[in-house]
Structure 1
Amino acid sequence: MEAKSPFKFLDAYTANDTDIFVGREVEEKKLFQQLRNTTLNLLYGMSGTGKTSLAQCGLAKFYDGADWHPFYIRRGNNINESLLKALKDTLVDIEDAAILDAYKLPELVYQVFITFSRPVYLIFDQFEELFTIASNNKEERESFFKTIQELQKQNLPCKIIIIIREEFLGELYEYEKFVPNLFDFRLRIEPMTVAKLKQVTTHTLNSFDVKVSQDNLIDTITQNLLDGKISSQLAFLQVYLDRLWQEAEYDNQQVTISDATVSKVGKIEAVLEKFLDNQLASIADKNDEKQKQLRLLLDRFVTEDGTKRPIAEDKLTAFEKTLVQQLESVRIIRKNEIYYELAHDTLAVIINNKRDAEQRLIKSLVQNLQTSYFFYKKENGGFLSEQSVALYDRFKNAIDDTLSHSEEKTAVFLFIENSRKENAKEKEELEKKNLRLRSLLTGVIVLIGIIIAVFVIAYLLVDEEKNNAENSLKKYNQTRANQLLIDAQTFLESKDTLLAKGKIKEAYTLDTNLVLKSELKWLLTSK
Structure 2
Amino acid sequence: MMTNPFKFLDSYDKEDKDRFFGRNKETAQLFNAVHASGLVLLYGASGTGKTSLVNCGLANRFQETDWLPVFIRRGNDLNRSLLREIGKYSSTQWEESTPLRHRVKDLYLETYRPVYLIFDQFEELYIMGAEAEQQAFHQSISNLLQAGLQCKVLLIIREEYIAYLSEFEKVVPPLFDNRLRIEKMNDHNLSRVVLGTCRYGNIEVKEAKRTTSMILDNLRNAREGIDLTNLQVYLDRLWRRDLDRQGNQQLEQVTFDEELVDAVGPMKNVLSEFLDEQMQDIEAGLKKRGVKSPQGLPLEVLFTLVTEDGTKRSKDPISILEDMPRNRKLSAADLEFCLSEFERIKLLRRFAEEG
TM bin, normalised by shorter chain, reads 0.7 to 0.9
* 1:119 alignment partner, one of 110, 114, 117: 114
Match of 2:188 among 183, 188, 195: 195
Which one-letter code corresponds to 1:85 in the other structure? R
> What secondary structure, in the 3-state scheme, does the structure 2 residue paired with 1:163 have?
strand
C-alpha contact (below 8 Å) 2:10/2:347 kept by paired residues: no
Note if 1:108 corresponds to 2:103.
Answer: yes
Which of 313, 316, 320 is the aligned partner of 1:312? 316
Highest relative contact order (Cα 8 Å, sep 6+), 1 or 2?
Answer: 2
* Identity percentage of aligned residues: 39
Structure 2 counterpart of 1:42, one-letter code: L
1:290 corresponds to which of 294, 312, 320: 294
Judged with a 3 Å threshold, the aligned counterparts in structure 2 of structure 1 residues 336 and 4 are, in CA distance, closer, same or farther, namely farther
Instruction: Please list the CA deviations of residues 170-203 of structure 1 after superposition, one character each: whole Å capped at 9, or x if unmatched.
Output: 1101221110100000000011111111111111
1:75: which partner in 2?
Answer: 74
- Describe how 1:384-423 pairs up with structure 2 within 5 A: none
Match of 1:129 in 2: 124
In the superposition, the TM-score normalised over structure 2's length comes to 0.87
Unaligned runs of 5+ in 1: 340-527
Residue-by-residue CA offset, 1:23-63 (whole Å, 9 max, x unaligned)? 11111111111211110000000001011011111112321
Q: Which has the larger radius of gyration?
A: 1
How far apart, CA to CA, are the structure 2 residues paired with 1:325 and 1:20?
25
Moved more, 285-294 or 122-131: 285-294
User: In structure 2, the residue corresponding to 1:36 is in which secondary structure?
Assistant: helix
Alignment of 1:23-422 (within 5 A): 23-91=22-90, 94-95=91-92, 97=93, 99-134=94-129, 137-215=130-208, 216-227=210-221, 230-231=224-225, 233-249=227-243, 252-285=251-284, 289-317=293-321, 318=332, 319-338=334-353
The structural deviation recorded for 1:160 is 0.6
CA shift for structure 1 position 145: 0.9
Q: Work out the CA distance in 2 between the residues paired with 1:77 and 1:323.
A: 21
Whether the aligned pair in 2 keeps the contact of 1:46 and 1:232 (CA below 8 Å) is no
**1:113–1:120 contact (8 Å) kept in structure 2:** yes
Secondary structure of the corresponding residue to residue 123 of structure 1? strand
**In the alignment, residue 76 of structure 2 is paired with which amino acid?**
N
Amino acid at match of 1:126: Q
**Which AA in structure 2 matches 1:21?**
F
In 1, the alpha carbon distance for the partners of 2:16 and 2:126 equals 31
Q: Distance in 2 between matches of 1:198 and 1:214?
A: 13
How big is the alpha-carbon RMSD for the aligned residues of Structure 1 and Structure 2? 2.1
Query: Which region of structure 1 is more displaced relative to structure 2, 16-25 or 166-175?
Result: 16-25
CA contact (8 A) 2:12 2:52 kept: yes
Residues 300-358 of structure 1 show CA distances to partners (whole Å, capped at 9, x for unaligned) of: 1222233323222342441423332233333333322239xxxxxxxxxxxxxxxxxxx
Distance in 1, matches of 2:226 and 2:43, equals 13
Secondary structure of the structure 2 residue equivalent to 1:303: coil
On the 8 A contact 2:304/2:320 being kept in 1, the answer is no
Determine if contact 1:100/1:108 at 8 Å carries over to the other structure: no
CA apart distance, 1:257: 1.6
The amino acid across from 1:329 in the alignment is R
Which of structure 1's runs of 4+ aligned residues deviate more than 4 A? 227-232, 249-252
Structure 1 CA distance, aligned partners of 2:124 and 2:115?
23
Q: TM-score, normalised by structure 1?
A: 0.60
Shift of 1:112: 1.1
- Deviation for aligned residue 1:66: 0.6
In structure 1, what is the Cα distance between the partners aligned to 2:282 and 2:65? Answer: 45
Deviations 1:233-284 (A, max 9, x none): 2111111112211222457401112334323433232222222111222222
For the residues of structure 2 that align with 1:212 and 1:270, how far apart are their CA atoms?
24
* Structure 1 SS opposite 2:19: coil
State the aligned residue count: 332
